[in-house]
Amino acid sequence: MDTVSIIKKLSAAQGISLKQLALRLGFGENTIYRWNTKKPTIDKLQKVADYFNVSTDYLLGRTNKKSPDTNEKSVDLSSDDYIMTYQGKPIPPEDMEYIKRILNGGKD
């Protein structure tokens, strides 16, 4: 399936036309239709992917999975169980407190 057909299917599922989608994303009203003959720019393709919460690979028909597989685990930096390291050595607790203050915008 080509990119425009995939986007058309996603749009139909949300009850909007390609023209409506284009306008919502700040594109010209015929921009997405033009992708039948001209490749989309990366930034516009990414906007469409973000809108539908899918990967650009899905929009390009390179995968059937809407979202990318990630083996990454989220890390809760506020957890005392998580030990940050620098060059293989644990960061001292007082330095961690300083790092946390910086990440919180200088607030305790």
Q: Alpha-carbon distance 82 to 54, whole Å?
A: 31
Q: Contact 106/92 with Cβ under 8 angstroms?
A: no
Q: Contact 10/58 with Cβ under 8 angstroms?
A: no
Task: Give, in words, the CATH class of 3-59.
Answer: mainly alpha
Tokens of 45: 């393709």
pLDDT, position 67 = 78
Q: Domain-by-domain residue ranges, the chain? A: 3-59, 73-108
Q: Alpha-carbon distance 22 to 72, whole Å?
A: 32
**What's the pLDDT band for 72 if we cut at 50, 70, 90?**
very low
- Across 92-102, average pLDDT: 79
